[in-house]
Amino acid sequence: MFGEFSETTRIPELSPPTRLALLVPALFGGGAERLMSQLATRWNSQGFEVHLVTWAATSTDHYSIPDAVIRHGLGMLAPSRGWWSGMVANWQRVKRLRETLQGIQPQLVVSFCDQMNIVALEACWDRFPVLIAEHSNPERQRLRFPWEWWRSLRYPGCQACVALSAEIADYMSRWMDRSQLVVIPPAIDPPQLAQVTGAVAKESHRLLFVGRLSHEKGVDILIEAWRRVTHELPAWTLRVVGDGTEKESLMAQAREMQSVEFSGWQTDPWAAYRSADLFVLPSRYEGFPVALMEALSQGLTCVATNCTSALAVLDRQQRCVRIVPVEDVEALANALVSACKQIESHPDLIHRQGQCRELVKDFTWEQVGKDWDMLLSRTLNATRKR
């Protein structure tokens, strides 16, 4: 039994003006970055003094935060050129972060993402209490050996650790006591969806991917699957929304395909969901896929690889998500053809509003935010009693 909160537990009164330091590598546009910006905004509105610290410079921010949140962009995100330079760079990060936190003097440090968590725990050792959160599946997203060794040394020293699912928490119990682990899924904040009163046949359709363009997201697999079936679906376009390290190689892979469009990172992803007819998640692995939750909240039927145990939580009966094996190009291609053809024949399937939205009703920011408030309060109370 992990540290989930019961529905009957009352959230204690928070006690501002407590000073918090929130740490995340950058605010480029990923799910962890968005959650961190939301927490900074939420806790600032509750009266906390919030400092938001990133390795990246503030000029790279994609997410906005209130002016009252104090930003610290350390400008130390540059990649290392080798093993030795990497060691030197990371110890410089520890030193710089320790100095920054000494200046802030937080009552609690809240850190997101694996390498940032490790460096934060090192920098705060015997100085400041730290609450950490993993936003991937560490069983699949393994770090290099020195990082994994460093993690095994430092993770036990956290006050609490948030995992996205019970499966991930179970894996992480090798590094810490189970009482330190809390399962809090990601949150979404979907806009109201206008009721569709009638389905109309369309001359053109759009298949949508939203996410970071990196290896684990499997967009290369999606493009290859789409290449095999695009001749069967002349009325369809594949739209790729997002940015990342593999953008150039993916654009090169799709260069000869006129039915693929790259839209880059979008400030308002909801517009992309509203303009789509079908959503696809081709990932090799996921922690808890936010983009899939967002698509479901907008009533979209989805095709997804079996990349996470969260699929069983989101759609156990596969009413809105068609699941295919991971890294199986042929199975993904066949599923896309089947789903697209079904939508062409039955336009009413484009937005299964009530059915799909019901699957994610427990993952709204209104619900999940309360769990974060509870964890914050509980952790602060525990540190004050030390």
The answer to the question of residue 375 being in a domain is yes
The reported pLDDT for the residue numbered 6 is 43
DSSP per-residue codes, 177-244: -GGGEEE----B-PPPPPPP------S-EEEEEES--SGGG-HHHHHHHHHHHGGG-TTEEEEEE---
Are residue 148 and residue 29 in the same domain, yes or no?
yes
**Residue pointed to by tokens 């199975």:** 331
Range of the domain at 66: 19-186+364-384
The answer to the question of residue 12 being in a domain is no
Q: Which amino acid is at 57?
A: A
Tens-digit pLDDT profile for residues 218-274: 999 999 999 999 999 999 999 999 999 999 999 999 998 999 999 998 888 899 999
pTM of the model as a whole: 0.86
Are residue 178 and residue 33 in the same domain, yes or no?
yes
Give the number of domains in the chain.
2
The reported pLDDT for the residue numbered 225 is 98
Positive or negative, the CA dihedral 336, 341, 343, 346 is negative
State the Cα–Cα distance between residues 227 and 230, nearest whole angstrom: 6
User: What is the CATH classification number for the domain harbouring 46?
Assistant: 3.40.50.2000
Are residue 140 and residue 241 in the same domain, yes or no?
no
Pairing of strands 130-133, 108-112: parallel
The reported pLDDT for the residue numbered 11 is 43
Are residue 143 and residue 210 in the same domain, yes or no?
no
14-30: string of b/e by CB count within 10 Å (b at 16+)?
eeeebebbbbbbbbbbb
**CA dist 242 → 145, 266, 269, 276, 313 (Å):** 30, 7, 9, 15, 25
Tens-digit pLDDT profile for residues 337-377: 999 999 988 776 666 656 788 888 889 888 899 999 999 99
The answer to the question of residue 350 being in a domain is yes
**Residue pointed to by tokens 């000869």:** 256
- Tell which residue, 358, 187, 189, 206, has the closest CA to residue 279: 206
- Tell which residue, 194, 291, 191, has the closest CA to residue 241: 291
Give the distance from CA 385 to its chain's centroid: 33
Are residue 218 and residue 124 in the same domain, yes or no?
no
The reported pLDDT for the residue numbered 268 is 82
Neighbours of 94 (CB within 10 A): 18
The reported pLDDT for the residue numbered 386 is 60
Q: Helix (H, G, I), strand (E, B), or coil: what is residue 52?
A: strand
The reported pLDDT for the residue numbered 349 is 63
Are residue 376 and residue 341 in the same domain, yes or no?
no
The answer to the question of residue 198 being in a domain is no
The answer to the question of residue 39 being in a domain is yes
Alpha-carbon Rg of the chain, whole angstroms? 22
**CA dist 17 → 14, 49, 120 (Å):** 9, 6, 23
- Cβ-proximal residues to 153 (8 Å cutoff; 6+ apart), any chain: none
The answer to the question of residue 334 being in a domain is yes
Q: Is the peptide bond before 129 cis (omega within 30 degrees of 0)?
A: no
Give the distance from CA 180 to its chain's centroid: 21
Are residue 142 and residue 175 in the same domain, yes or no?
yes
The reported pLDDT for the residue numbered 9 is 40
State the Cα–Cα distance between residues 185 and 305, nearest whole angstrom: 19
Q: Which amino acid is at 322?
A: R
Are residue 69 and residue 172 in the same domain, yes or no?
yes
Walk along the chain (386 residues) in steps of 10 and give the mean pLDDT of each run.
42 66 91 92 96 94 93 85 73 94 97 96 94 93 91 96 94 95 92 54 86 95 98 96 94 95 89 93 95 92 93 80 96 97 79 74 89 95 78
Are residue 32 and residue 150 in the same domain, yes or no?
yes
Are residue 372 and residue 321 in the same domain, yes or no?
no
Q: Which amino acid is at 199?
A: A
State the Cα–Cα distance between residues 161 and 184, nearest whole angstrom: 10
The reported pLDDT for the residue numbered 248 is 96
The answer to the question of residue 2 being in a domain is no
- Answer whether 23's CB lies under 8 Å from 131's CB: no
- Answer whether 348's CB lies under 8 Å from 21's CB: no
Which tokens is 349 given?
């399937």
Are residue 63 and residue 85 in the same domain, yes or no?
yes
The answer to the question of residue 68 being in a domain is yes
Are residue 176 and residue 232 in the same domain, yes or no?
no
Beta-ladder partners of 304: 281, 323
